[in-house]
């Protein structure tokens, strides 16, 4: 509990602009912020060194697409990787995926390799998997970031029958592997809070400076449906002012259906929320986008309970959620449903089944918005053109 409160405090301070610093409590203003600022300087140095053009980079034998961001959390990296996986699979290309966290890729198909984002493990996994691609048998290996070793889990892989694979892509849900040569760099930007207070982690949300956008091949402004056109123009102009010459696209998360945690294969219409008292529980990077989406669906009442990004729910959290549900039932004299994101469900579905109340999951998927003549087809064409030029290969 103390750790979660500390994370939430750091997140609030990291979101605090310089103009609002005088309004902070004295301890935070005089003690914590100077410490965070000093840590930002120390953490920024390794990023600058790793971005040096003189640093040697290793090349994998397949095209590499990096999907990353300049700020922490809520930028749409996971939905974009899921979107690309589905599109590539529909084109006959089976992606291998390197990611920190569990992803909702149950319907993507193809060959999936989900590993912790460490280059050594990625290369080991790729070398193990490539020979299998010549046959009809492919193994799907899921590697969470915690638990047993790579060697132990690799010996427990289970073969899954799939069609013969003609080509492979390697996709990474991060940009911090500077030692690995990427064919395409896709940078996701949160349209609601694009650069935060512009400070570096942990004083702010920036992982890398805006100048690194010059390395990007494609920038995607996410949650573009939740901000005004003037805000989108400002973000696009900032990208251009950084020196980047890349294409800019716009995306949104479109809710498709709801499912109950005990019956994930049974789809419920979004209309099931009509007239419901809803408690939105989330541990994601941009909970405001989740809340706004739910309100647009139209429940009778929407309450919220936010946890820090990537938080794993524990016993105390379950008690907190149950108590909030009881308060809402007493207040409205009506059954209350707990609504979580698909990312929260994928992180630990079993713990959500222990709540003892009705828990639904909102299923959403990323869509490219056809703004400024930059739609989905244009995005995929751009990706294929870049890979064709860098690899000198004929795309399907």
pLDDT at residue 323, rounded to an integer: 97
Inform me whether the pLDDT recorded for 236 exceeds 60: yes
pLDDT at residue 113, rounded to an integer: 47
Give me the DSSP letters along 226-275: GS-HHHHHHHHHHHHHTT---EEEEEEEEEEEEEETTEEEEEE-GGGGBT
Read off the DSSP letter of residue 37: H
Q: Using CA atoms, how far apart are residues 382 and 220, in angstroms rounded to an integer?
A: 13
Q: 54-63, 147-156, 286-295: which has the minimum mean pLDDT?
A: 147-156
pLDDT at residue 203, rounded to an integer: 92
Cα angle 36-208-79, degrees, rounded to a multiple of 5: 110
Inform me whether the pLDDT recorded for 329 exceeds 60: yes
Q: 105-114, 156-165, 333-342: which has the minimum mean pLDDT?
A: 156-165
Cα angle 135-58-140, degrees, rounded to a multiple of 5: 30
Phi, psi of 346 (to 5 degrees): -65, -30
HSE value, Cβ hemisphere, 13 Å, CA-based, for 296: 12
Rounded to an integer, the average pLDDT of 264-275 is 95
Tokens encoding 64: 């590499």
Query: How does pLDDT run across 76-121, given as a tens digit for each residue?
Result: 988 888 888 888 878 877 667 765 544 444 434 444 444 444 444 4
Confidence of residue 167 (pLDDT cuts 50, 70, 90): very low
Inform me whether the pLDDT recorded for 267 exceeds 90: yes
Distances (CA, A) of 29 to 13, 78, 85, 203: 9, 34, 45, 12
pLDDT at residue 48, rounded to an integer: 62
Query: How does pLDDT run across 198-207, given as a tens digit for each residue?
Result: 999 999 999 8
Owner of token pair 């599109």 = 87
CB contact at 8 A, 67 and 185: no
Inform me whether the pLDDT recorded for 317 exceeds 60: yes
Under DSSP, is residue 291 helix (H, G, I), strand (E, B) or coil? helix
Nearest to 343 by CA among 74, 116, 15: 74
Domains of the chain by range and CATH?
64-252+369-391 (3.40.50), 254-365 (3.40.50)
Q: Using CA atoms, how far apart are residues 115 and 100, in angstroms rounded to an integer?
A: 7
To the nearest whole number, what is the mean pLDDT of the chain? Answer: 79
Q: 163-167, 236-240, 322-326, 364-368: which has the minimum mean pLDDT?
A: 163-167
Q: Using CA atoms, how far apart are residues 347 and 361, in angstroms rounded to an integer?
A: 12
pTM for the whole structure: 0.81
Inform me whether the pLDDT recorded for 322 exceeds 90: yes
């Amino acid at each position: 509990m103390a750790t979660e409160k500390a994370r939430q405090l750091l997140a609030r301070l990291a979101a605090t602009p310089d103009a609002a610093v005088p309004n902070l409590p004295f301890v935070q203003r005089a003690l914590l912020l100077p410490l965070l600022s000093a840590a930002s300087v120390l953490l920024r140095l390794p990023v600058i060194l790793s971005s040096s053009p003189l640093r040697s980079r290793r090349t994998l034998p397949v095209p590499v697409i990096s999907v990353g961001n300049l700020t922490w959390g809520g930028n749409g990296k996971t939905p974009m990787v899921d979107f690309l996986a589905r599109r590539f699979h529909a084109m006959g290309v089976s992606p291998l995926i390197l990611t920190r966290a569990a992803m909702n890729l149950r319907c993507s198909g193809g060959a999936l390799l989900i590993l912790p984002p460490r280059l050594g493990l990625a290369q080991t996994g790729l070398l193990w998997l490539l020979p299998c691609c010549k046959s009809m048998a492919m193994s799907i290996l899921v590697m969470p970031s915690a638990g047993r070793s790579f060697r132990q889990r690799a010996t427990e892989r289970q073969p899954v029958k799939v069609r013969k694979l003609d080509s492979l892509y390697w996709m990474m849900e991060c940009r911090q592997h500077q030692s690995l040569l990427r064919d395409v760099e896709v940078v996701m930007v949160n349209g609601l809070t694009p650069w935060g207070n512009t400070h570096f982690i942990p004083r702010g949300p920036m992982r890398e400076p805006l100048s690194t956008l010059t390395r990007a091949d494609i920038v995607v402004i996410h949650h573009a449906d939740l901000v005004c056109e003037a805000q989108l123009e400002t973000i696009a102009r900032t990208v251009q002012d950084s020196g980047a010459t890349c294409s800019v696209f716009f995306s949104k998360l479109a809710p498709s259906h709801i499912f109950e945690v005990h019956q994930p294969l049974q789809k419920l219409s979004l209309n099931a929320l009509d007239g419901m008292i809803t408690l939105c529980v989330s541990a994601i990077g941009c909970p405001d986008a989740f809340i706004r989406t739910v309100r647009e669906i139209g429940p009778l009442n929407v309450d919220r309970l936010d946890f820090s990004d990537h938080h794993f729910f524990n016993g105390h959290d379950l008690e907190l959620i149950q108590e909030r549900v009881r308060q809402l039932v007493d207040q409205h004299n009506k059954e209350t449903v707990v609504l979580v994101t698909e990312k929260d469900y994928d992180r630990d579905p079993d713990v959500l089944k222990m709540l003892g109340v009705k828990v639904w999951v909102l299923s959403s998927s990323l869509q490219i918005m056809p703004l400024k003549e930059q739609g989905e087809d244009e995005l995929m064409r751009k990706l294929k053109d870049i890979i064709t030029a860098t690899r000198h290969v004929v795309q399907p």
